[in-house]
Amino acid sequence: MNVLVTGGAGSGKSAYAEGLACSLSTQRRYLATMSAEGAEAQARIERHRRQRAKGNFETVECAGTLPTGDYAGVVLLDDLGNLVAQALFAPDGSMADEQEVLARLDAEVGRLFLHADHVVVVGNETGAEGRSPYEGTQVWVRLVGSLACRIAARADAVVEVVAGIPYPIKGAIA
């Protein structure tokens, strides 16, 4: 089954998504989307690593593009915000084309849904804070939202985690 887990910052969506992934298969792969720049990012990565250590996930680094091929098990993609940021912003500060990034990532997640037994994608609720004054942030917010809409349309289930509580938006978790 393919599930999209969304929620605000610090809502417990990663912990829920990991628990869900563990319940779906004993073969577990984690797609790491975050660039490890800065102490804050490293601390967050460390916390997520400790959380995942219990689940015996095989970690695959993916910098803005998802791996291809069949996978007999569950793939955990955490999270769309980082995936989009890596795909959208080049290290020199330049920005890729919004529609191209959307089409490519939508296709890549769609392919992942077809080729893995189970996929759990973690999204981010970023669009309910008014419009950012920065163009790059505006594009990122739109992309994270639009990509989540497309993934949700394909997913078997969508769950919003609110204060650590999974709230069903679409489908049901088996």
Partner 1 sequence: MLLVIGGIASGKRSFVRSRGFEDRQMSSRLSSGAPVLLDLDELLREGPIEGPAWDEVLSKQVIVCCEVGMGVVPIDAGERAWRERVGRTCARLAAASDEVVRMVCGIPVKLK
Contact pattern for partner 1 over residues 100 through 129, marking x by CB under 8 A: -----------------------x-xxxxx
Is residue 88 part of the contact set for partner 1 (CB under 8 A)? no
Is residue 89 classed exposed, middle or buried when 0-12, 13-18 and 19+ CB atoms within 10 A define those classes? middle
- Both tokens assigned to 165: 């509580």
Q: Is 118 a catalytic residue?
A: no
Nearer to partner 1, 33 or 126 (CB): 126
What is the Cα 159 distance to its own chain's centre?
13
How far apart CA 31 and CA 90 sit, in angstroms, is 20
Is residue 146 part of the contact set for partner 1 (CB under 8 A)? yes
Residue 33: Cβ within 10 Å count: 22
Pick one of 45, 85, 169, 173: the residue that binds partner 1 (CB under 8 A).
Answer: 169
Residues facing 31 on adjacent strands: 60, 77
Contact pattern for partner 1 over residues 24 through 53, marking x by CB under 8 A: ------------------------------
- Both tokens assigned to 161: 């985690």
Q: Of these residues, 48, 52, 118, 150, which one is catalytic?
A: 48
Sites of contact with partner 1 (CB under 8 A): 4, 6, 8, 123, 125-131, 141-146, 148-153, 158, 160, 169-170
